[in-house]
Homo-oligomer: A and B are copies of this chain.
């Protein structure tokens, strides 16, 4: 609590997408929020848009959220600790061990909200961005326990689910599920492109599975040099583990070990099917797989049908068979609505099959 007001006071360092969204979310909870940015005009824009209440780093702030690029994180955190002597300081960087090694202050707690948006910067700012998102916090031995508990409560107040992890553990996990997969997708895509003397023939053989696997390689690469520098050790470990695992698969193929291959693929299949649903939710979810002909209006028909039945579509994708382009619409809905939607689909001539998702 601030001494001079009922409202708690926060400062945001970096008014990009995440910083601006944190500002809006905190304002929604009654906080008074100021902010600065390396580019002062961005902070002025955020003020003009009502995203922050004032431009500036508030020396009386209870909380400072540092939302700057990973490469300038350490300097920004140090500045915030100096400028705001009463504040708990947290950051939103996607790599955590490096900053934890550099900052040993009981007022600092590292953090990483697993949220983003298609639109960068102020344009994408959204008070509900963290609703249902996972927000990792990485307290260390030096972190003040009361400050950590307060920060955790604040983050939960804006809708996020807090997961507590040691910094090194966080980095190893995101290396495995984000950084190494991204590098692998780019490598597979580069390999296919470079080895294709008959480029067009190769790419015409690339069906849905290849498209799915390489989709993330189409993203803008600008963030990756920083991530690869900051999380270098965990990424190298992840790449080494992948390399070892691929060598084991290679041996299985080379030996023609059919049952060994099946064991590996079955284990991967079970793990993939058990991946939690994308959306944090209390409901049980069901995936309806609906083979769809390639005709006009089928998507509108099915999504409208769900709307008419007052069923919310949690997720939707068009999957393609291993080979070829036939579509299967995969619609994720509340399990309680599954029978109702299936019956309505069958009535209209579709052949849906239902399976539970998540666990």
Give the contact-size bracket for chain A.
Answer: 35 or more
Copies in the complex: 2
Q: A206-B275, A245-B191, A275-B206 are in contact. Are A291 and B117 (CB under 8 A)?
A: yes
Bound-complex Cα distance A253 to B180 (A): 11
Asked if A221 contacts B328 (CB within 8 A), the reply is no
At the interface, yes or no: A40 with Cβ under 8 Å from chain B? Answer: no
The dominant DSSP class at the A interface is: helix
Asked if A322 contacts B216 (CB within 8 A), the reply is yes
**Residues of B contacting A324 with CB < 8 Å?**
113-117, 129, 133
Bound-complex Cα distance A288 to B170 (A): 35
Q: A178-B207, A241-B195 are in contact. Are A319 and B215 (CB under 8 A)?
A: yes
**Residues of B contacting A273 with CB < 8 Å?**
218
Quote the shortest CB–CB distance from A258 to chain B (angstroms): 4
**Residues of B contacting A322 with CB < 8 Å?**
116, 178, 182, 216, 219, 223
B-facing residues in A179-207 (Cβ within 8 Å): 180-193, 195-196, 198, 200-207
Stretch at the interface among A7-15, A60-68, A82-90, A229-237: A229-237
Bound-complex Cα distance A225 to B299 (A): 36
Quote the shortest CB–CB distance from A356 to chain B (angstroms): 13
Asked if B272 contacts A214 (CB within 8 A), the reply is yes
Q: A209-B182, A304-B300 are in contact. Are A115 and B187 (CB under 8 A)?
A: no
